[in-house]
Structure 1
Amino acid sequence: MPDSAAPPPSRSRTAHRRPRPKRRTALLPVAAVAAVGLGALPPAGASAAVAATRTVAADGSAQYRTVQSAIDASAAGDTVSIAKGTYKEVINVPTGKKGLTIKGATGNAEDVVITYDNAAGTKKPDGSTYGTAGSATATFSAPDLTVTGVTVQNTWLRSEHPDITATQAVAVNAQGDRQVFRNDRFIAHQDTVLNWAPSATGQYRQYFRASFISGDVDFLFGNATAVYDRVNITLRDRGAAAGGNNGYLAAPNTHSAKKYGFLITGSTISSSAQANTFSLGRPWHPTDDAVGQLVIRDTALPAAVRVAAPWTDFGTFPWKSARFHEYANTGPGATVNANRPQLTVAQAADYTAARYLAGTDGWNPVG
């Protein structure tokens, strides 16, 4: 869309026009005027709905005090604009809120923080536990969703809950199609971002651009098609000595019928952890038809990545049975050897952000 509307067409001057008789205009009922405002009436039978912006501020200076209350009040296509502040709440955007935009009002993701601290093993009031997906601070199910300029975090810490063994604590559960996350921050430890396809063979695509993500164990995981483009990723140090085990970046469980799972491209991965303590990924294998797919390409890798063998098995399922590849990576954690499968130049042309996201409808949010 251009920055400004095109100018109206020029009008030619016509001299000595004969005055036209005035038309009689029927008066509208007051209710009709109130319904349509001062603009032109919509055609008969057409919807007069216009996308609205719902404003949120924790101090009460906006329409809503909580993010969830603004989401609940929104219709499909609306915008939820969140003022600077910290919002301790769990949020959920259901499938019916198609086309919703959630944005931080300042444009700086550090200013707007949505935070909570549930883990998979945290007990609900009824005594049951949340489970991995249920631990999420934010669950996004609506298609055509945009989230920009916000931080979503899960602050649950293993050290504060030694009695809980289910330590997955999700920040974002993304489980809709054609979802875009730009200029955001997603922070947790284990299982930070869940990229989920409610139907394992269905079309669920999520695009992360120019954002920050941190975690330590399997913190990008799931069976959806997800692209991380120009993202800053931090491998959080759990204190392992050099050569020990701090964790794993990714754990895809892509269905074997899907060509595309996860792509990390044009990104920077950093860490303060000791050398050779992080694996790039392992193939989550909860079902027989799960064969994880992940490409990391054109990305800077830190010394914390295991240089000799950056991929590892998941339980008894071997990483060599998964679909893991690299291409043109750089940095102290990058090299080429027998344990680091590389795409060929020809293959690399088929594993780009645009190819991953095109699907059956040609969707292209890249750029």
Structure 2
Amino acid sequence: MSAHRSRGTGRPRHRRRSTALAIGVPLALTAAGTLAYGTDLGLFGADAQTKASAATAATPAWATATADGFASVNALGQNGTYGGRDGKTVTVKTLADLEKYATAAEPYVIVVAGTITMDPIGKEIKVQSDKTIVGSGTAGQIVGGGFFLGQGVHNVIIRNLTIRDAYQGVWNDKEHDFDAIQMDGAHHVWIDHNDLRHMADGLIDSRKDTTYLTVSWNKLSQENKAFGIGWTDNVTADITIHHNWIRETEQRNPSTDNVAHAHLYNNFLEDVAGTDIKSSYGNYSRGGTNMVLENSYFQGLTNPVVRDATATLVQRGNVFSGTTGKNESGGTGAAWNPKTYYAYTLDKAADVPALLKSGAGPRSSIGTSASTTTATTNAAAATTLTVAKDGSGQYTTVQAAVNAVPANNPARVVIAVKPGTYRELVKVPSNKPHVTIQGTGGSRKDTTIVFDNASGTPKPDGSGTYGTGGSATVAVDADDFQARNLTISNDFDEAAHQDIANQAVALRTSADKVFLDSVIVSGDQDTLLVDTAAKDKLGRVYITNSYVIGNTDFIFGRATAVIDKSVITLKKRWNGTSAGYVTAPSTAADRKGILIANSTVNGDVSDRSFFLGRNWHAGGDATLDPQTTVRNTSLSAAIKTTPWSDMGGFSWKDDRFAEYKNTGAGSGAASSDRPQLTDAQAAAQEVADWLGDWTPTAS
């Protein structure tokens, strides 16, 4: 903003995979090379291909997704875990069809598109190898039973399902062995994004040397026994457990018995006060287990971390809030490093509750992006272009892939970007709608688009400086744009360039229906500019399951923008001081501005040093009516007790700034300096009110 310038390891038993596999956040793509095809041969250059067969023409990313963690490791004759991607995709709505395809010898991707009730109660379908069983959005539910994977069954994915309600009325039921998922001697299994609850015995049982197992992004709740591992004297199993929300469960959270390598990270264990369910322990390293426990968050648990005298447990970076009793580590086992076996990226422990409350469990975008039947697959797939720095894709830069999209393209084009740092400027022009830029790594940190222009940076052609909007690393002028599973950054060095205007934008949008899911947008001053094509044009932006990082007016502009279920991270200035503004809306009088909902605002900055926002009347335009609403959000002590500020001679009290039911040390009671919405007012300031007739859908 131009107005800113005036202010101041153990023994390896298997081969390590050579690259990080493409999953770990919602809707990550598989290795992009398998998806490089277009709607017409040659449309995007000689390297683009057309998939001719009906069975593959509509294959969406979730149908070919592969596991991370130990399930990704090549071992026991199995190269990672990819489920039924080599077989047909079928849709089932009955128990008979589900059992038919799950127990078949050949591979299948099985889409559960409704509620299937087990008969008899407690039935566990005996799943065979090479299967993906995935819920269609949030519609896929298994009631009164679950799945069993027997000795030698391998390469199985169970994903995006709700499995619930086999409970028989007896807590700690020893008569009914009704589990959501039981594995006896299986290997290479990935259990991801499920909601498992209220079964008779346990939610997940990994037994009898089951190995190369990854359990990720699940919700486990309302159960006596959450997740038991063991039932063996052999210390051979390798298991990864990450980003799971385990709440209101009494024991086995998990109980990990005789596991050679147990890697637990970024899990959220929660015992809610005042309920009938009381935890007896949290993570338990039993028998000969060698456990690494990293960056997890324990809330209200009794005995959050327990270790047998014979076990080894290494703790790093965990957070304990309101816990009591045992919190143990130590042991004599050999030290080991999970990165010896696979790549992974840790989220900050303090961010884990917000991440998992928004990201764990079934996702509406998984299992729904293509139309499938038991006989054929008819829908046309999106065109996918691949980008890789090492030359293994169709293009080596993101901008080259954008340039290859034809003007006025009528359908979705996915630009799948392999892990790496892409130092370049990217612009998606207004005549190229329906573009998705998606990182294919296991984390949004694996794929980064970064540059270092600032407002005052001279243009190479000598025609002046870039200006604030022109400094953006990524600039989006096209409607219906999407980005996910990547980082967009501006790393301009303010300390070295105090001689020029230092507004430095990471991402600028000036379009309608912009959807950002599982991204990091990082900078210092003016990180995220949410704009519109013109003052009288509508521009809606929806950001979810993401991070926005900055220090001064770092979420700003005139768009109608929602930041939902995300983390806003406050950052110190270039000189180490703490002072800043989260938002600077420049909203038109008849539009909605910036809404922050169901999120967390935190950061390593001084207490009471940041405003939630100030009113930007761009160009001194008195007709503007800037708006920021912050609701149902956790505010750290960094937020000032008077959280709004004037700007450019305009009083914020003449514009639209309010809060509603925020929590945390930075929240406060209603006053003339801290307006709070009434319940009636809040009912008209929900996410849906901001988005209107648009429902963001991943594609």
Q: Residue in 1 aligned with 2:394? A: 63
- What amino acid is the match of 1:302? S
Deviation sequence 1:147-186 (CA, Å, 0-9, x none): 001100000021010211x110000001110110000000
Q: Residue in 2 aligned with 1:150? A: 486
Q: Residue in 2 aligned with 1:312? A: 645
* Distance in 1 (alpha carbons) for counterparts of 2:659 and 2:414: 38
Matched ranges for 1:147-186 at <5 A? 147-164=483-500, 166-186=501-521
Alpha-carbon shift at residue 289 of structure 1 (Å): 1.6
* Distance in 2 (alpha carbons) for counterparts of 1:362 and 1:67: 28
Asked if residue 85 in structure 1 is aligned to residue 416 in structure 2, the reply is no
* Distance in 1 (alpha carbons) for counterparts of 2:572 and 2:459: 30
Alpha-carbon shift at residue 364 of structure 1 (Å): 5.0
* Distance in 1 (alpha carbons) for counterparts of 2:695 and 2:677: 24
- What amino acid is the match of 1:77? R
Question: Compared with structure 1, are the counterparts of its residues 363 and 4 closer, same or farther at alpha carbon in structure 2 (3 Å cutoff)?
Answer: closer
Q: Residue in 1 aligned with 2:468? A: 132
Alpha-carbon shift at residue 8 of structure 1 (Å): 4.7
Asked if residue 263 in structure 1 is aligned to residue 599 in structure 2, the reply is no
- Contact 1:253–1:293 (Cα < 8 Å) also in 2: yes
- What amino acid is the match of 2:615? P
Deviation sequence 1:114-143 (CA, Å, 0-9, x none): 000000000012330000000000001111
- What amino acid is the match of 1:235? L
* Distance in 2 (alpha carbons) for counterparts of 1:56 and 1:82: 5
- Which consecutive residues of structure 1, in runs of 5 or more, have no partner in the other structure? 10-48
Aligned-pair identity (%): 41
| Structure 2 SS opposite 1:123 | coil
Q: TM-score, normalised by structure 2?
A: 0.44
- Contact 2:370–2:381 (Cα < 8 Å) also in 1: no
| Structure 2 SS opposite 1:213 | strand
Q: Residue in 1 aligned with 2:530? A: 195
Question: Compared with structure 1, are the counterparts of its residues 100 and 274 closer, same or farther at alpha carbon in structure 2 (3 Å cutoff)?
Answer: same
One of 547, 550, 567 as aligned partner of 1:232: 567
Q: Residue in 1 aligned with 2:656? A: 323
* Distance in 2 (alpha carbons) for counterparts of 1:55 and 1:277: 43
Question: Compared with structure 1, are the counterparts of its residues 123 and 330 closer, same or farther at alpha carbon in structure 2 (3 Å cutoff)?
Answer: same
Aligned length: 320
Asked if residue 275 in structure 1 is aligned to residue 275 in structure 2, the reply is no
- What amino acid is the match of 1:272? D
- Which consecutive residues of structure 2, in runs of 5 or more, have no partner in the other structure? 1-366
* Distance in 2 (alpha carbons) for counterparts of 1:344 and 1:125: 53
Deviation sequence 1:274-327 (CA, Å, 0-9, x none): 1111111000012122211110000011111111x1101002111111100000
* Distance in 2 (alpha carbons) for counterparts of 1:173 and 1:2: 29
Matched ranges for 1:281-360 at <5 A? 281-286=613-618, 287-307=621-641, 309-336=642-669, 337-358=671-692
RMSD: 2.0
- What amino acid is the match of 1:120? S
Alpha-carbon shift at residue 5 of structure 1 (Å): 5.2
- Contact 2:495–2:575 (Cα < 8 Å) also in 1: no
* Distance in 2 (alpha carbons) for counterparts of 1:73 and 1:239: 38
Question: Compared with structure 1, are the counterparts of its residues 4 and 227 closer, same or farther at alpha carbon in structure 2 (3 Å cutoff)?
Answer: closer
Deviation sequence 1:319-367 (CA, Å, 0-9, x none): 1111000000001100013211011001111101111001xx444559x
* Distance in 2 (alpha carbons) for counterparts of 1:132 and 1:6: 46
Q: Residue in 1 aligned with 2:555? A: 220
| Structure 2 SS opposite 1:160 | helix
Q: Residue in 1 aligned with 2:448? A: 113
Alpha-carbon shift at residue 77 of structure 1 (Å): 1.8
Q: TM-score, normalised by structure 1?
A: 0.83
Alpha-carbon shift at residue 240 of structure 1 (Å): 8.6
- What amino acid is the match of 2:631? R
Which protein is richer in strand relative to its size?
A: 2
